[in-house]
Amino acid sequence: MASLLNGSEYLPTCKTHQLPALKSVACTAQLECGYPCGQLLKWKEHGFPLCADHEDFPKECYFFKIPTEIRCRIYEFLLPDKSIPARVGDSFTGLRADYSQSTTRFLGTCHQIHNEAVDTLYNKSTFAIAISNSSNQMCNNHVTTHNHQPPPFSGVPGQHALQDYQMQLMLLEQQNKKRLLMARSNNMPLPPLPLGPAPVAQSTLNCAADAQSEDEYTGAFGSIWLPTLAKQYFDMIRSFEINIELPPKTSSAIFPRHFNQVATAQQAQPNEEQLQNYIYEICDQLHQVMGRLELIKPSILHLNVKIVIEAFQTLDEALAAAQILLKPFKRLRNVANAEVHVSWKTSDIPHNFRWVHISTRDETIATPTSFFGYLRRWQMDLSSAGPLVEPSPTTASYWIFRNTVKEFMSERFAAMYTGLEMDRLIRAGRVAREADDLVGLHDVIAEFKNKWSKVTDEQRRLEDRVACSLDFIGGMMGYGGSEWPTPARNGEGSSKGKEKVKVEEEG
């Protein structure tokens, strides 16, 4: 005979099977009438109270019953807790300090987990951006240089924990990212300059999201860098690390090890002119990055600039180059914490070198007083509150001049001048821009104006010669200067030509 133990909390059992008692639970699946099913079933720990008829009923996720703070703490054990490098080399040891494996696959579970986790990932992580004279790299993206086609990536699959997830984001957002960025940029106090097409970026960055585009937004400070991350994720980042190497080196993350060895062996020490070109080309890339960082709202919390210089014979020359590279950062405002680390490689003795490290954290003995004062003023400029810095007339004029030269070289009638000659003018304009030398930039533009006048004069002379030749030919054929017949179509001659042939036949 069946009996109930302690009320309805346990399943009804016979006298023989009273012990152990089986705890019961009612099925909570909602029927069409609006009432729960109520069928008794065996209670299971960590199980859903659903009977066999309603096993496919939508189930509640117990994970969301945990407080949000604890869930975010769980995400931190799965996501990276180290700086996200711009490129992954052979010495890469992972993205977690405890050398455990990080993962981002759980971000695709549902919208709520995704929104909570990406807030933890991008708000609390530091993302590095590597700046060179021809490209800006972030999250180990691929780059194509001007001189050669890069070999395929030969890294270990899954070496970068964020690579697969970010590639999916780039594929999903590539259609809307540029339109949203341009709409956001139109709200800036500096409107776009209506000067023909935007300049072609020096870096031809090829990736799934088409990060660098030739028709990107152009403002008074030049073109704006479009990162590989989608706009809504990039705007969530609050900590950045900018890495600059002088002279630029080939990235081991992009090229295989055997290629790096060949490139390193063939790479000669650049001369003084090449170093100056590298410095100002890097400044162009920095202006593109600063244009994108200015769009981040609210402001940046941490900005760490690392400059590694393996050139120049004296420390004063290296620090002078560092000052030029730090100048584009002065466009930023409301940066809570900005730091600078400069490392200079010196060789006092042949085949022997040492590193000199200079940081804003402490004033070392090797740091000249003037340079350390410059770093203090640099920090004060970045941390000051206020609107964004408006470009000087020299800066605005340079970018208009640069766009004009690029457009000039794209036309066929500019073939009388070589690209090297135009590049020399652009390099001279860069130097004048960074020094805010309006007179020097005026001289550069005046030289370009003389070249443009020669082209237009040659164009007019060519038009006159062609017009005279056509008039002479027309006179010999019996046509006036304005009586040329229309071109024949489908093998049919002009009407006037047919009339002449007909008259000759009748005669």
Euclidean distance between CA atoms 202 and 302, whole angstroms: 28
- Higher per-residue confidence, 372 vs 286: 286
- Higher per-residue confidence, 148 vs 491: 491
At residue 497, the pLDDT reads: 53
State the virtual CA torsion across 268, 272, 276, 282 in degrees, nearest 10.
Answer: 20
CB 385 within 8 A of CB 334: yes
Residues 125-184 pLDDT 10s: 999 999 998 888 898 874 333 333 333 334 443 444 444 445 444 544 554 455 555 555
Q: Which of 410, 408, 407, 413 is nearest to 460 (CA)?
A: 413
Residue 13 gets which letter from DSSP?
B
Euclidean distance between CA atoms 160 and 139, whole angstroms: 9
Structure tokens at 427: 């390099």
Phi, psi of 501 (to 5 degrees): -65, -40
> For 158-214, what is the HEC assignment?
CCCCCHHHHHHHHHHHCCCHHHHHHHHHCCCCCCCCCCCCCCCCCCECCCCCCCCCC
Structure tokens at 361: 């954290």
Which range is least confidently modeled, 74-88, 181-195, 284-298, 408-422?
A: 181-195
Entry pTM: 0.68
Domain spans, the chain: 1-60, 68-297, 394-472
Residues 273-309 pLDDT 10s: 889 999 999 999 999 999 999 999 888 999 999 999 9
Dihedral sign computed on CA atoms, order 419, 420, 426, 430: positive
pLDDT at 11 over 50: yes
Mean pLDDT for the stretch of residues 371-388: 89
Residues 174-219 pLDDT 10s: 544 555 555 555 554 433 333 333 333 333 333 333 333 333 445 5
Q: Which of 125, 74, 79, 119 is nearest to 103 (CA)?
A: 79
DSSP 3-state assignment of 353?
strand
Q: What is the DSSP string of 22-52?
A: PBEEE---B-TTSSB---EEE--TT-----G
Q: Which of 450, 455, 430 is nearest to 440 (CA)?
A: 430
